[in-house]
Chain A
């Protein structure tokens, strides 16, 4: 039995099937970007274990094709397994082994980057200081206990949990959150302007005066969904504090009291807090004289890290990012009126993998061709002798 499994995992047929499936997936996923947008297509086709198909009007989904993660993982396992099974150690094959090891590291690095890299951004106006970055796509329901003297306790509930869970019961909260409705993308209107018969989905806070209308998913790269939800707060000792509208478009947090503590709730872009801060000193946007063609963007920031006693100025510009504590700050954009800079923040634990892989592959090829060159020289010398 084990032998059969090993034969299957190491078979060349599996490699061919994975490569063919990968080609088909790339073709279909690329076409799907027309209707779904780049981000959604990447999520559905490439950054998933399976491609799912939801039958019309049904509440379930069927996996219809392996997703990018599954194909990549199987391909990687197949490569490692085949290499391990057929491995025969000789010095003459050192170059081949090194080259394959480099390829495996490159594939694994790609997969790890896809799985664990986090991209976010920081928007800073001149003089602004921030110690967190915000996700460009994901949102979270932040439930903040503001009772503390100096610290706020934040319970951050990801959008995925809101979307899939009916009731959220967490140890950090003295109440349960019941998700009455969730809109992936929505438009908010004052109730008085929403037309006849439209009812609010909330009965507390400003949501009681607002109508929520579902909207199609944002597919353009520069667009962003505006998620909204109606959540009911049920204290664990009984009763209900009413239903609240939370929305990325609503902005200001809403406040209520429960369990003798004061709470704020807000649906906001997911935040990644850092033990250091960046302050924008100056954003520069140079254009070629007499034109609107950009010549250079740069952001002069001050990096302050109390833990490491760091306090220094850094100039971030194209191809010259700031790398600090495993995160890289790239100059990504700016507000149309140059009033603020937008820095992309990338946290990628496996960012070193491609560099290591390239060095190993290069070394392997050098060794392999070196052996051939030496062998060829010897043969030639012997032939002459």
Chain B
């Protein structure tokens, strides 16, 4: 067969082959982003530990940042326990570690920094409890269980929560130790979640690490930040005049301040000042929580709002409510200011609270931000 004959006999064959192939290619290409893919990735970058990876780098190169996200100076100031293995960072994690214990027990440790709208401490603690399959707790319960850790960046609230979600692996789950700190421009979350015993064993190191990270963050403030007035603690300072007859008692971990007032018959009234970063949830949620504490059923939002009155002071305007149960009564005032919500609350026997109400109002009117 000569060259011409070869090409001419092949031309119709080429039509029959090329056309379907091209259409198949077009259709295949159109489907390229619609397949579910399954693959495995190393928990550690490129299946090497951080130290191995640094060893692999030529001597004239800079070492990778570990853990990423912290400022370089802060990293050098923080010594992490040797058994904490650095992990690849996700979108939000600025530090991530894995601790391994006996019998396959592991605990995951993370540090995440979010903006100021990251919810209140109670919201977040209840979210973590939910992750452990546990029911939410009240503000009072949180006040009893949470610890306060003083750092140069502010007071860190530490919560230790236990519970094993349904179908969870006890080697990997069962306890969360979480720490949360709100500053003027961010909310820092530190979390350790894993096997209950291992988490308990690592709690001391975890709290030291949290304190080191917070202290290092303060030490490494930029010159511009150093020039700005610094906050002594996460919560801004406020002033008031303590009414006569009220005794200031040491605040619990969650309370900014606590007072006690005694009625003539010996009944005690508990007065608390609590503050959270953010807006602290809706008014209806808070009032219904207080209603529950004195044995009242929740009310709908309209009813709650109808019972809220404004109290204008020289400094700001408070929302106030007065709710009475069969035996106990709560009067509360709250205001939102500079990214924080402030709750002032007096709870006690109805008659005693009624008698102390004028002092409580005077106390609120004396508050200066």
Contacts and interface: CB of A to CB of B under 8 A. Distances in A.
Contact of A85 (B11, B28, B44, B63): B11
Nearest to A164: B34
A160 B34 contact: yes
B162 to A, nearest CB: 15
Contact of A126 (B25, B58, B62, B112): B62
With most chain B CB atoms within 10 A of its CB, the pick from A129, A131, A160, A204 is A129
A251 B69 CA distance: 15
A160 B278 CA distance: 36
A73 B25 CA distance: 10
A88 B33 CA distance: 42
A209 B119 contact: yes
B57 A9 contact: no
Contacts of A266: 90-91
A170 B278 CA distance: 40
A346 B292 CA distance: 60
A312 to B, nearest CB: 8
Interface in B73-104: 90-93, 104
B19 A9 contact: yes
B104 to A, nearest CB: 8
Interface residues of B, number: 72
A208 B126 CA distance: 11
B65 A128 contact: yes
A383 to B, nearest CB: 32
A58 interface: no
Contact of B36 (A158, A262, A279): A158
Nearest to A255: B131
Contacts of A59: none
Nearest to B164: A257
Given A129-B45, A150-B42, A89 B127 contact: no
A151 B42 contact: yes
Interface stretch (A11-19, A109-117, A211-219): A109-117
Contacts of B41: 151-152, 154, 273
A285 B317 CA distance: 51
Interface in A214-247: 235
B169 interface: yes
A115 B25 contact: yes
A256 interface: yes
A21 interface: no
Interface string A113-128: 0111000000001111
Given A161-B34, A261-B169, A76 B22 contact: yes
B356 interface: no
Contact of A111 (B19, B26, B35, B90): B26
B168 A257 contact: yes
Interface stretch (A27-35, A190-198, A315-323): A190-198
Interface string B216-244: 00000000000000000000000000000
A160 B30 CA distance: 12
A55 interface: no
A81 B34 contact: no
With most chain B CB atoms within 10 A of its CB, the pick from A90, A255, A311 is A255
B36 A157 contact: yes
A176 to B, nearest CB: 13
Interface in B28-52: 28-30, 32-48
With most chain B CB atoms within 10 A of its CB, the pick from A90, A158, A235 is A158
28 contacts: A6-B15, A9-B19, A69-B26, A77-B22, A84-B11, A87-B8, A87-B11, A115-B28, A127-B62, A127-B64, A129-B64, A131-B46, A150-B44, A153-B40, A160-B34, A161-B36, A170-B36, A191-B282, A192-B279, A192-B281, A204-B130, A206-B119, A251-B91, A252-B93, A255-B193, A302-B57, A304-B46, A311-B57
In the A-B complex, list the 3 residue pairs whose CB atoms are closest, starting with the nearest: A115-B29, A251-B92, A257-B168
Given A262-B173, A266-B90, 7 more contacts: A6-B12, A87-B11, A146-B43, A149-B104, A161-B34, A257-B168, A281-B62
Interface of A: 6, 9, 48-49, 69-70, 73, 76-77, 80-81, 84-85, 87-90, 108, 111-112, 114-116, 125-129, 131, 138, 146-161, 168, 170, 172, 190-193, 196, 204-206, 208-209, 235, 251-253, 255-262, 266, 268, 270, 273, 276-277, 279, 281-282, 302, 304, 306, 311, 313
Interface of B: 3-4, 7-8, 11-12, 14-15, 18-19, 22-23, 25-26, 28-30, 32-48, 53, 56-58, 60-65, 68, 90-93, 104, 110, 112, 114, 117, 119, 123, 127, 130-131, 165-169, 172-173, 193, 278-279, 281-282, 301
